[in-house]
Amino acid sequence: MKFEEYRISPHIKRSLAEMGFKKPTDIQFKAIKNILKGEDVLAIAQTGTGKTAAFAIPVIEMLMLNRPKGPSQKSVGALVLVPTHELAQQIAEVFQKIGKYTPLRILALFGSTDQEPQIKYLERGVDILVATPGRMFDLRSQGYIDFRMTKMLVLDEADRMLDMGFYDDIEDVIKFLPKSRQTLFFSATIDDKIKKLAYSIVKNPIRIQISPDDPVSKNIVHSVVMIEMDDKRFFLERMIKENPEQKMVVFVRTKVRADRVQAAMERAGIKSETIHSGKTHQERKTTMSRFGAGKNLVLIATDISARGVDIPNVDLVINYDLPEEAENYVHRIGRTGRGTQKGKAVSFCSTEEAETLLKIEELLGYSIAQQDFSELDYNETLMFSDAENRTFKDVMKEIAEFENIQKNRKKKK
């Protein structure tokens, strides 16, 4: 079934066509029809499956059907609660693109930025509010948000929200919403804590679970290479210099480590930028904008960018450090191979991280393909890093030429 066959507004169909959306993904096919029926939905789907559009399309349609005069002062038609600034901004942009030809008022609400423009926008009322809990509760307590007429609640990345300690916040927001609302609950994973939260806020939900045998997209070729901790920077330098035109995301464990890796790359003559929780929202926004536009091709990131955030056209993901949480492996490498595009991911694993690798492979249900380096290859990579104008290929060419000379001398003898 194609989107043009759905019983939705022609305005939505027009924007979907412009976005290149022809047929729904599995999660979209299963969720949209039930949401349009007014059902509560509990959906379990990994990132990259198209779940944002799975709720954005029907939310826009439902609000359009019940919007004869538009929102009243300070009111909110639908609340979409998310864990991070980046995700709030991204989801709001999806709503804006799909609702491009509708009169709906859409606002991304988050902290670490001036609240005055947000307040001015809220005073007229909004149809769709995509918000992080902190700023949302702050402005509600100041009297700038009225949830009494809210028709829909969407919780996206619910498992991430629980990991970040938002359980009480989610329960608190329910107190301000009408009991007659429609609730949509989206999560990448399902466990007892998720179930407890979900079934406390949804009513007789339609449960949808999209869980392929392999949680890693079939569009991604991923492998691991054994590299000692102190040697990782040399191999990263090599990979970047051998792929100068490719857009890369390099994941590290901490913000301090991100800055150190960036400094190491700078000493090697490689330009890169970092994104982590130590940056202001504006700094992170600027960095992501530059990376998205291809003005910077190497982004060094902590797990703040591993989930939910859609980074366009990433050719290669490098796990400079393996993630502490095994499931973040899937989210990290899921930054590449989006949609129909192909992608690659390589993980550096040190001796100290061997146990972490085993946990990741246990989660996946199989062993990750391993790249092997000969002792010569490994040592040449370390040597290559000290030469400013020689590439690894140049070094290997010189070695081959030297070996040929030696062979020819032996033949002459």
Indicate whether 42 and 163 sit together in one domain.
Answer: yes
Residue 387 has pLDDT above 80, yes or no: no
Same domain? For 118 and 11 the reply is: yes
* 281 shares its domain with 149: no
Does residue 200 sit in the same domain as residue 231? no
The amino acid occupying position 352 is E
Q: Are residue 92 and residue 203 in the same domain, yes or no? A: yes
Mean pLDDT of the chain: 88
Work out the angle between the directed axes of helices 232-242 and 255-267 (0-180°, nearest 10): 60
Please indicate, yes or no, if residue 55 is contained in any of the structural domains. yes
What is the predicted pLDDT for the residue at 279? 85
Q: DSSP readout, 146-203?
A: B-TT--EEEE-SHHHHHHTT-HHHHHHHHTTS-TT-EEEEEES---HHHHHHHHHH-S
- Higher per-residue pLDDT: 301 or 391: 301
Which domain range does residue 258 map to?
A: 220-372
308 vs 263 pLDDT, higher one: 263
Question: Which residue from 148, 175, 176 is spatially nearest to 75, judged by alpha carbons?
Answer: 148
Q: Are residues 327 and 183 in the same domain?
A: no
CATH assignment of the domain containing 304: 3.40.50.300
Per-residue pLDDT, 123? 94
Residues 176 and 248 in one domain: no
Percent of the chain with pLDDT over 70: 89
The verdict on residue 357 lying in a domain is yes
Is 402 among the domain residues? no
| 136 shares a domain with 114 | yes
Q: Is residue 87 part of a domain?
A: yes
Tell me which residue has tokens 């999560």.
187
Contact 71/122 with Cβ under 8 angstroms? no
Higher pLDDT among residues 389 and 186, named by residue: 186
Please choose, from the candidates 392, 355, 394, 358, the residue with its C-alpha nearest in 3D space to the C-alpha of residue 377.
Answer: 392
Task: Quote the DSSP letter at residue 75.
Answer: B
Residue 388 has pLDDT above 60, yes or no: no
Residue 404 token pair? 């040929």
Is pLDDT above 70 for 119? yes
38 found inside a domain: yes
**226 and 341, same structural domain?**
yes
* Residues 204, 289 within the same domain: no
Tally of domains within the chain: 2
CA separation for the pair 77, 191 (Å, rounded): 30
Report the distance separating Cα 21 and Cα 14, nearest Å: 10
Among the listed ranges 74-78, 83-87, 228-232, 242-246, which one has the minimum average pLDDT value? 83-87
pLDDT exceeds cutoff 80 at 161: yes
